[in-house]
Amino acid sequence: MKKSSLLFILFTIIGIGISISCESDDICPESTPTTPSLIIEAYDAENPTNSKAITKLVIGGIGNDKTLTNGIISATKIVLPLKTDANTTQFAFIKDAFINDNGTPDDTSDDYYDGNTDKITINYSREEIYVSRACGYKTIYRNVTFTIVPDTDNWIKSRQSLNDNQSVEDESETHYNIFH
């Protein structure tokens, strides 16, 4: 009888200790800003005040096999994630994209996106900022530069930073405009 009473008291104390030690901030709320992405808006190169959709667009990261777009899209606003473990991120923007079946229409394993590809390079310095115990750290990007890699058929004609010494600290505003 004494053993069962002692065990009950012991387990009750342990249970109370565990429930008291948990705090409501142990889960990072979705509303908490974390590492931001670079926001780009597209404009007409011939009439720079007019927004202009990029049609049949596919965006992929250079150095990996993943596309950032869900298939071929049309967009005036682009959200690009930047690497948190390097000071450079590169992307391939494919305009007028189509799926090239590589001459084997019945075999989709060798299909790839084709079209007019422009490559861009984003350089930056990184700074880690403590958010909270539950959320950990987020990375913000300072001194962000955007370079269009020249080729014989660039469809991105120019780019414009919206601030001097551009930084990416949140996703509430556009960071760069591109003109095509």
pLDDT digits (tens, 9 = 90+) for 81-138: 999 999 999 999 999 999 999 999 999 989 999 999 999 999 999 999 999 888 899 9
pLDDT tops 60 at residue 1: no
Using pLDDT thresholds of 50, 70 and 90, give the confidence band for residue 29: confident
At 20, is the secondary structure helix, strand, or coil?
A: helix
Is the separation of the CB atoms in 18 and 152 below 8 Å? no
> Which structure tokens are listed for 88?
């450079």
Using pLDDT thresholds of 50, 70 and 90, give the confidence band for residue 15: low
pTM for the whole thing?
A: 0.81
Is the separation of the CB atoms in 52 and 46 below 8 Å? no
Measured at the CA of 156, the angle between CA 102 and CA 69, to 5 degrees, comes to 55
At 72, is the secondary structure helix, strand, or coil?
A: coil
Q: Quick one: pLDDT at residue 58?
A: 96
